C-alpha cells in the first residue's frame, strides 16, 4: 500500500466512525507562544481539550504536518542514524473532545490495524501506563491481547509522570496516560520490546500512541482534571508505511525512495544507504515545509532551528563529497513527491530554492571563516587537546560543527575535549531555555473564564454589563476614581487587538462613573478593556453604555482594508512568494512586513500604488462571509501563517477576487472609503523581510499637503512657482557651477601673485633656496598649487608652506627634483607635522601633512633651514 493510500484509508475509516476530517494546520502553531513548531496532531485542538474552545464536532481526524527539531520532543540528533526518527513527519490522528474515551479509542485503533490494514495480531505489542488498569483490562480482556505482549511502563524518566506512557505536549498544558502499539519487525533486526534494556534497537517500533487526555498540567506540576476526559492519538505515517511496505526502515518507503536518489544526484555520490544521505533527504522535508509555512533562517527562535537543520544537511552533504551548493537542488524532487498532498510546496517552490541556496552560500563562508579561527587557535595551542570552550566557541559563534573540529584535530594528531564541549552545550541549553519565550506557561495566559459577545462588526455603541474588574491582575468588585484596571463585559463593540489591528479605544459610562478605554485585548473568549476610571466609581454587575471612539476606529478600518489591497498588489507586482510576515494597523498608518529578497524599486512602488488606488476607485463593496476553512481555501483565501483559525472562518473579499483573505478585523464598507493610498517608506527589517509603511484617507491627504507645502517653500526660495521649480532649480545649479569655476580661476591667479611675492623671501642656504612661510586660511589644495609654482620659479629649492585652515594646521613641503637625492620632502614633512602634533608624508619631491597644534606652527616652519643645512 502506498503512503497516500494509507493516509486516505485512515481518514476514511475514522470518518466512517463519525469523525470530521480536519486539514493539517501550519507548522507554525496558531497563536500559541508555548510551542516552537507544530509537533503533534493535537496542537491545533489544544483549546478543545482544555474546554476553552467549542467546535461543531466532538470527533476529529487529521493528517498533520509535524516538525520535531528544537524545543521539547526534538529528534534532530537521532535523525539519519535510526530507522524511524525524522525532523519532519506526518501524523495520522483521531481525536475525541469529551466524546468517547479509552474503550472506543483502543477498539478503533485495533480495528484499523488488524481489520483494515490486516496486520498480523501476533506482531503487535502494547504498552500501558503502569497504573492504568482500566486500559490494561480493555486490551487483555476485551480485545484479547495476550499478557505476554502487554507491558506496563511506569515513570521511567526520573520524575512523577515523566514516562514513555504519560504524554505531555510541553511543560504545561493538556496531558495524560497513554497506551502505545508497537510493531515487531522480526528477529533479524536487533532490539528488544519496550521497557527492556534493548528497547532502543529498531526491532520493536512504536507505531501508534493513544493518549487519554485527562489533565491540564500547571507550572507548579499539579495535574488539574480536564472538563471532560478526551482522546488524542497519533500514528506516524512513515512508520506505518514501512510496516505496510514490508521494509523495516522508514527510509525505504515510497516517500523516501525518490528523495534519496535525488539527494545522491545533487551531491554527486552513490545512493547506498549511508546515514548522511538519509540526513539530507530527511532534512529537505522539514526545511521545505518550514519555508513554505513562512519560516526563514535567522539567529533566533524558529529561524535558528531552521538554520541548524539546513547547516546539518550541508555538512552531511559535504561529508559525502558535495562541492558547492547542492541542497536546494533537491527541492524539485520534494515537490514532485509531496506537492499534490501539500499544494503550498508547489506554490512556494521557487522561494524555497532561493532561501536554501542563499543559506548554503552563507554557510560556506561561515565555514571558511571558522577554519581561519581554528587555525589561529591551533597555532596557540599548548598540549594535544583542543579545549571544550574553543570547540564550543567555533560551534556557537561560527556554526562550526564539533565533529569537523575533531576531524581537523585528528589530522594533526590532536584530540578534542568532548566532555568540556558537552558541558558548554548544556550550559547554553539552560541559557536558551530560560531566554526562550517558548517556555511560557500556557495557564498564566488564561485567567478570565468569561466569553464576551462581540457586537462591533455592526456597531460602535451599545450597552453591556460588567462581569469582572481586574486591578493589578487581581479580581476586584469596585473600581474607584483614578484607578487603572481591566474591565470585562458580557458584550462589547470594542475590537480586541488581533490580526495586526490595534484594539479600540473609547469610553464605558454608567450613572456612577466613566471609564476611559485606552486599549482592548482578548484572552480566551474574554475581551479585556484596559484603561482608567476618570470619574466616579464602577462595580461588577453594573450596566454600562459602551462607546468606541468612532473616528479612530474608522481611520483604522481604512488602513486595514488598504493593507489587504496592498498585500494582493504585492503578490501581483513582486510575485507569489510574497508572504505576510507581520502587520500593524492603527489609525495613523499601516505597516506591512513581507518576505522578499531585495529592495523594492521606485517603479515597483509606483506600480503598487497604481494598482491599489485603481481598486480604491472601483469602489467595490467589502464583502464578508462566514464559512469553513476548506471552502475558504478553495476560494483562494490567503490564510496567514501563525494565525489560528477555528471551524468557522471569516472570509473578507475586495474587488471580487482581487483580494480574498481570512480576517476577523474591522474594515471599510467599500474600497472607495479608503480614498487614497500613499506609500511613505520601504526598507529591510531582517534578512529576506521588507517593510512598507503607508497612509490612507485623511492621513494620505495630509501627507500630500505637507509635501505640497514643502514644494511651495522650495519654489519660494528660488523665486519660482511649482510649475517652473525644476527650471528655476536647474538654473540655480548651473549658475552655481559657473561661479565655482570662476572662483577656482581667481584663486589660481591670486596664488600665482602670492607666489611672485613669496619667492622674494627665499633664503640662500649653501646654494639652496629655502623658503618656509606661514599662509593662514588656505586649504591644502591651494598650498600644493603654490608649492608647485614656487619650485618652478626658484629652481634648486626646498619649500615648506603651512597655515591654519578651519582650525587645523595644513602643511605642504616641496623639494626640486635635482635635490631629492639629498633632501626628501617626505622627511621634512615628518618632522614638521610631528611638531604640530600630527602626521604627514609623501613623495621625495612633494609631501603633505597636518596637525592640531596651531601654536607650534611657527616652530615647525623654523625646522626647514636646519633640515637643509643638515642634509647638504
Q: Which residues bind ligand SER (CB under 6 A)?
A: 40-42, 93, 167, 209, 211, 232-234
Ligand-binding site membership of 667 (annotated): yes
Nearer to ligand SER (CB atom), residue 209 or residue 671? 209
Question: Whole-angstrom distance between the N-terminal and C-terminal Cα of the chain?
Answer: 101
Q: How far is the CB of 433 from ligand SER (least distance, A)?
A: 21
Exposed, middle or buried, 141 (CB in 10 Å: 0-12/13-18/19+)? exposed
Q: How far is the CB of 254 from ligand SER (least distance, A)?
A: 23
CB 461 within 8 A of CB 547: yes
Q: How far is the CB of 43 from ligand SER (least distance, A)?
A: 8
For 9, the 3-state DSSP assignment is: helix
User: Three cell numbers at 823?
Assistant: 633632501
Residue 590: closest CA among 600, 582, 599: 582
Rg of the chain in Å (alpha carbons)? 38
Nearer to ligand SER (CB atom), residue 207 or residue 836? 207
Render 375-430 in DSSP notation, one character per residue: HHHHHT--SSEE-HHHHHHHHHHH---HHHHHHHHHHTT-EE-HHHHHHHHHHHHH
Q: How far apart are CA 67 and CA 86, in angstroms?
A: 8
Q: Which sign does the torsion angle of CA 206, 207, 213, 216 carry? A: positive
Nearer to ligand SER (CB atom), residue 40 or residue 649? 40
Residue 312: closest CA among 373, 249, 402: 402
Q: How far is the CB of 213 from ligand SER (least distance, A)?
A: 9
* Helix (DSSP H) and strand (DSSP E) numbers for the chain: 22, 34
Nearer to ligand SER (CB atom), residue 78 or residue 362? 78
Nearer to ligand SER (CB atom), residue 63 or residue 659? 63
Q: How far is the CB of 181 from ligand SER (least distance, A)?
A: 12
Q: How far is the CB of 432 from ligand SER (least distance, A)?
A: 23
Nearer to ligand SER (CB atom), residue 205 or residue 833? 205
Nearer to ligand SER (CB atom), residue 232 or residue 359? 232
Ligand-binding site membership of 564 (annotated): yes
Nearer to ligand SER (CB atom), residue 213 or residue 267? 213
Cα 283 from chain centroid (whole Å): 19
Nearer to ligand SER (CB atom), residue 105 or residue 819? 105
Q: How far is the CB of 163 from ligand SER (least distance, A)?
A: 13
Name every residue whose Cβ is closer than 8 Å to that of residue 267 and which is 6 or more positions away in sequence. Answer: 277, 280, 317, 320, 321, 322, 326
Q: How far is the CB of 175 from ligand SER (least distance, A)?
A: 9
Q: How far is the CB of 31 from ligand SER (least distance, A)?
A: 19
Name every residue whose Cβ is closer than 8 Å to that of residue 245 and which is 6 or more positions away in sequence. Answer: 1, 252, 253, 254
Beta strands in 663-730 (DSSP E): 677-686, 689-696
Residue 656: closest CA among 786, 768, 565, 547: 565
Nearer to ligand SER (CB atom), residue 211 or residue 790? 211
Q: How far apart are CA 187 and CA 198, in angstroms?
A: 13
| Strand arrangement, sheet containing 677-686 | 580-585, 590-595, 689-696, 677-686
Nearer to ligand SER (CB atom), residue 235 or residue 775? 235
Cβ-closest residue to ligand SER?
A: 234
Nearer to ligand SER (CB atom), residue 151 or residue 334? 151
Q: How far is the CB of 187 from ligand SER (least distance, A)?
A: 27
Cα 323 from chain centroid (whole Å): 29
Q: How far is the CB of 105 from ligand SER (least distance, A)?
A: 11
Q: How far apart are CA 710 and CA 815, in angstroms?
A: 55
Number of neighbours of residue 322 by Cβ within 10 angstroms: 23
Q: How far is the CB of 147 from ligand SER (least distance, A)?
A: 24
Nearer to ligand SER (CB atom), residue 32 or residue 504? 32
Q: How far apart are CA 126 and CA 148, in angstroms?
A: 10
Residue 234: closest CA among 58, 79, 38, 81: 38
Q: How far apart are CA 207 and CA 237, in angstroms?
A: 9
The residues with which 515 forms a beta bridge, in sequence order, are 508, 533
Left if phi > 0, otherwise alpha if psi is -120 to 50, otherwise beta: which for 135?
A: alpha
Q: How far is the CB of 40 from ligand SER (least distance, A)?
A: 4
Q: Annotated binding residues, as ranges? A: 560, 564, 663, 667
Q: Annotated binding residues for Zn(2+), as ranges? A: 560, 564, 663, 667
Amino acid at each position: 500500500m502506498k503512503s497516500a493510500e494509507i493516509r486516505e484509508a485512515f481518514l476514511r475509516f475514522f470518518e466512517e466512525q463519525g469523525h470530521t476530517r480536519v486539514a493539517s494546520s501550519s507548522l507554525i502553531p496558531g497563536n500559541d507562544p508555548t510551542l516552537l513548531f507544530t509537533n503533534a496532531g493535537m496542537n491545533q485542538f489544544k483549546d478543545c481539550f482544555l474546554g476553552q474552545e467549542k467546535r461543531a464536532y466532538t470527533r476529529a481526524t487529521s493528517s498533520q504536518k509535524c516538525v520535531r527539531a528544537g524545543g521539547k520532543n526534538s529528534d534532530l540528533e537521532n535523525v539519519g542514524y535510526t530507522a524511524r526518527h525524522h525532523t519532519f513527519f506526518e501524523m495520522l490522528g483521531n481525536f475525541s473532545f469529551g466524546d468517547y474515551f479509552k474503550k472506543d479509542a483502543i477498539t478503533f485503533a485495533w480495528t484499523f490495524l488488524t481489520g483494515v490494514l490486516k496486520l498480523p495480531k501476533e506482531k503487535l505489542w502494547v504498552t500501558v501506563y503502569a497504573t492504568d488498569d482500566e486500559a490494561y483490562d480493555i486490551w487483555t480482556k476485551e480485545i484479547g491481547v495476550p499478557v505476554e505482549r502487554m507491558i506496563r511502563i511506569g515513570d521511567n524518566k526520573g520524575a512523577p509522570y515523566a514516562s514513555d506512557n504519560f504524554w505531555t505536549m510541553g511543560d504545561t498544558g493538556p496531558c495524560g496516560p497513554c497506551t502505545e502499539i508497537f510493531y515487531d519487525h522480526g528477529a533479524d533486526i536487533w532490539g528488544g520490546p519496550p521497557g527492556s534494556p534493548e528497547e532502543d534497537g529498531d526491532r520493536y517500533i512504536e507505531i501508534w500512541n493513544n493518549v487519554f487526555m485527562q489533565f491540564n498540567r500547571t507550572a507548579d506540576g499539579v495535574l488539574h482534571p480536564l472538563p471532560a476526559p478526551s482522546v488524542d492519538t497519533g500514528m506516524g505515517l512513515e512508520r506505518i508505511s514501512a510496516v505496510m511496505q514490508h521494509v523495516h526502515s522508514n527510509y525505504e518507503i515510497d516517500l523516501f525512495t525518490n528523495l534519496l536518489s535525488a539527494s545522491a544526484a545533487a551531491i554527486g555520490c552513490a545512493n547506498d544507504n549511508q546515514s548522511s544521505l538519509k540526513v539530507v533527504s530527511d532534512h529537505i522535508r522539514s526545511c521545505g515545509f518550514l519555508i513554505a509555512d513562512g519560516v526563514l533562517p535567522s539567529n533566533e527562535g524558529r529561524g535558528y532551528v531552521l538554520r541548524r537543520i539546513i547547516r546539518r544537511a550541508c555538512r552531511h552533504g559535504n561529508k559525502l563529497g558535495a562541492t558547492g551548493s547542492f541542497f536546494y537542488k533537491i527541492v524539485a524532487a520534494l515537490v514532485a513527491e509531496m506537492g499534490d498532498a501539500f499544494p503550498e510546496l508547489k506554490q512556494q517552490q521557487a522561494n524555497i530554492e532561493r532561501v536554501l541556496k542563499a543559506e548554503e552560500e552563507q554557510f560556506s563562508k561561515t565555514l571558511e571563516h571558522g577554519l581561519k579561527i581554528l587555525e589561529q587557535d591551533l597555532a596557540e595551542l599548548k598540549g594535544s587537546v583542543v579545549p571544550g570552550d574553543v570547540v564550543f566557541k567555533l560551534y556557537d559563534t561560527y556554526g562550526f560543527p564539533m565533529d569537523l573540529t575533531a576531524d581537523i584535530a585528528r589530522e594533526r594528531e590532536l584530540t578534542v575535549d568532548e566532555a568540556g564541549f558537552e558541558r558548554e552545550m548544556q550550559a547554553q541549553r539552560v541559557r536558551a531555555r530560560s531566554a526562550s519565550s517558548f517556555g511560557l506557561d500556557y495557564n498564566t495566559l488564561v485567567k478570565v473564564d468569561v466569553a464576551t459577545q462581540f457586537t462591533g462588526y455592526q456597531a460602535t455603541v451599545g450597552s453591556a454589563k460588567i462581569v469582572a474588574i481586574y486591578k493589578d491582575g487581581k479580581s476586584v468588585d469596585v473600581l474607584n476614581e483614578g484607578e487603572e484596571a481591566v474591565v470585562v463585559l458580557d458584550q462589547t463593540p470594542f475590537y480586541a487587538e488581533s490580526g495586526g489591528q490595534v484594539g479600540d479605544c473609547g469610553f464605558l459610562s454608567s450613572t456612577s462613573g466613566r471609564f476611559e478605554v485606552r486599549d482592548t485585548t482578548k484572552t480566551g473568549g474574554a475581551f479585556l478593556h484596559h484603561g482608567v476610571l476618570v470619574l466616579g466609581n464602577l462595580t461588577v454587575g453594573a450596566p454600562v453604555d459602551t462607546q468606541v471612539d468612532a473616528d479612530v476606529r474608522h481611520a483604522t478600518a481604512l488602513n486595514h482594508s488598504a493593507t489587504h489591497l496592498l498585500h494582493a498588489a504585492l503578490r501581483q507586482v513582486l510575485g507569489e512568494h510574497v508572504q505576510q510576515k507581520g502587520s500593524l494597523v492603527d489609525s495613523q498608518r499601516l505597516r506591512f512586513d513581507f518576505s522578499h529578497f531585495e529592495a523594492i524599486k521606485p517603479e515597483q512602488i509606483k506600480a503598487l500604488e497604481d494598482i491599489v488606488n485603481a481598486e480604491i476607485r472601483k469602489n467595490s463593496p467589502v464583502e464578508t462571509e462566514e464559512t469553513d476553512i476548506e471552502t475558504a481555501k478553495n476560494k483562494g483565501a490567503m490564510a496567514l501563517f501563525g494565525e489560528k483559525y477555528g471551524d468557522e472562518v471569516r472570509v473578507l473579499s475586495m474587488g471580487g477576487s482581487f483580494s480574498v483573505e481570512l480576517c476577523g478585523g474591522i474594515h471599510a464598507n467599500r474600497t472607495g472609503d479608503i480614498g487614497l493610498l500613499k506609500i511613505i517608506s520601504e526598507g529591510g527589517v531582517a534578512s529576506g523581510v521588507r517593510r512598507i509603511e503607508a497612509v490612507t484617507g485623511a492621513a494620505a491627504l495630509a501627507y500630500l499637503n505637507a509635501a505640497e507645502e514643502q514644494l511651495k517653500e522650495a519654489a519660494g526660495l528660488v523665486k519660482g512657482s511649482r510649475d517652473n521649480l525644476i527650471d528655476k532649480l536647474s538654473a540655480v545649479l548651473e549658475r552655481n557651477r559657473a561661479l565655482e569655476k570662476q572662483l577656482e580661476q581667481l584663486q589660481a591667479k591670486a596664488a600665482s601673485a602670492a607666489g611672485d611675492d613669496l619667492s622674494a623671501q627665499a633664503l640662500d642656504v649653501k646654494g639652496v633656496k629655502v623658503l618656509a612661510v606661514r599662509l593662514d586660511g588656505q586649504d591644502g589644495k591651494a598650498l600644493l598649487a603654490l608649492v608647485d609654482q614656487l619650485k618652478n620659479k626658484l629652481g634648486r629649492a626646498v619649500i615648506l608652506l603651512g597655515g591654519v585652515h578651519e582650525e587645523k594646521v595644513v602643511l605642504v613641503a616641496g623639494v626640486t627634483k635635482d635635490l631629492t637625492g639629498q633632501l626628501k620632502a617626505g622627511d621634512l614633512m615628518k618632522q614638521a607635522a610631528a611638531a604640530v602634533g600630527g602626521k604627514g608624508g609623501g613623495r621625495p619631491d612633494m609631501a603633505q601633512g597636518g596637525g592640531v597644534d596651531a601654536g607650534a606652527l611657527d616652530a615647525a616652519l623654523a625646522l626647514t633651514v636646519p633640515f637643509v643645512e643638515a642634509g647638504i
